[in-house]
Amino acid sequence: MRAERCAATPDLFAAAADAQDTVPLEPGAVVLPGLALPQAEQLLHDVAGVLAQAPLRHLVTPGGYTMSVAMSNCGPLGWTSDITGYRYTATDPLSGRPWPALPAAMATLARQAAARAGFDGFTPDACLINQYSAGARLSLHQDRDEHDLRQPIVSVSLGLPAVFLWGGARRSAPVRRIPLSHGDVVVWGGPARLHYHGVLALKGGCHPLTGEHRINLTFRCAS
Ligand code: MD3
Ligand code: FE
């Protein structure tokens, strides 16, 4: 991402915590507040390099809905969707070329975060890059396109804050609202791995490193 200048805006969630903390959400789900802060600029630099090769795009769901979140991928596999369904592919359908390589700083952070949550040896083969602009949202869903659901998913939030929706094993379960800020990392494994989740519509704002956007990285073992 290009570093963008903007007037400082109050960060609703600035009170967070320091990078040492691990906050259990429930069995299998651990928040690591600010863990990615020291590497944030490096990560965004790496993301910009990926997006230069595999640009962000608004995917269409099998239901015919165009997603408000813009997406791309890096790593051996990438998550994609079109009218025929969701799947992981080895090549970018836009270019026909392999997805860009997973940058080392991203792979290292994902591995360290997973280890802190008790998942040693996490070796993701897919990283989905989600970019939210004001109003973009992700409705409640499960992530179940990955082959081995015993492997966790590691998520990294960068840029503007968002409200994450954390539900249960059924779509109808009550939903908690969890603020996620720049630098926060969450590991989702064990019983939490198949829980419904989503993201509320992003509020407008301006972040010194990402401008008017929120970037979320999710590291997955897809194969
Ligand atoms: C809990 N992304 O890409 S990250 C997704 O902020 C996705 O862009 C959101 O949901 C985002 O699929 C949320 C947190 C997250 C990601 C995957 C999960 C939580 C999860 C998979 C299982 C359980
Ligand atoms: Fe998800």
Instruction: Please report the domains of the chain, with CATH numbers, ordered by start residue.
Output: 14-220 (2.60.120.590)
Is-contact 1 215, C-beta < 8 A? yes
Structure tokens that stand for 47 in this block:
């993301």
Residue 50 φ/ψ, nearest 5 degrees: -65, -45
Atom 14 (ligand 1): residue with closest C-alpha? 155
Question: Helix 104-116 to helix 40-53 angle, to the nearest 10 degrees?
Answer: 130
Nearest to 1 by CA among 222, 210, 215: 210
How far is ligand 2, taken at its centre, from the CA of residue 152, in Å? Answer: 12
Q: Which atom of ligand 1 is nearest to the CA of 195?
A: 23
Residue 80 phi, psi (nearest 5): -145, 165
pTM: 0.93
Question: Pseudo-torsion of CA 115, 23, 106, 192, nearest 10°?
Answer: 80
C-alpha of residue 140 to centroid of ligand 2, in Å: 8
Length in residues, the chain:
223
**Distance separating alpha carbons of residues 43 and 107, to the nearest angstrom:** 10
Closest ligand, as measured to the CA of 218: 1
Are 132 and 214 within 8 A, CB to CB?
A: yes
Q: Which of 135, 13, 11, 6 is nearest to 70 (CA)?
A: 135
Tokens of 214: 């929120």
Q: How far is the CA of 144 from the centre of ligand 1 (A)?
A: 11
The CA distance from 40 to 47, in Å, is: 10
Please give the chain's pLDDT, 223 residues, in tens.
Answer: 555 557 544 444 444 445 468 888 888 899 999 999 999 999 999 999 999 999 999 999 999 999 999 999 999 999 999 999 999 999 999 999 999 999 999 999 999 999 999 999 999 999 999 999 999 999 999 999 999 999 999 999 999 999 999 999 999 999 999 999 999 999 999 999 999 999 999 999 999 999 999 999 999 999 9
Residues with CB under 6 A from ligand 1: 128, 130, 138, 143, 153, 155, 164, 186, 188, 192-193, 195, 197, 199, 216, 218
Please tell me the distance between residue 217's alpha carbon and the centre of ligand 1 in angstroms. 9
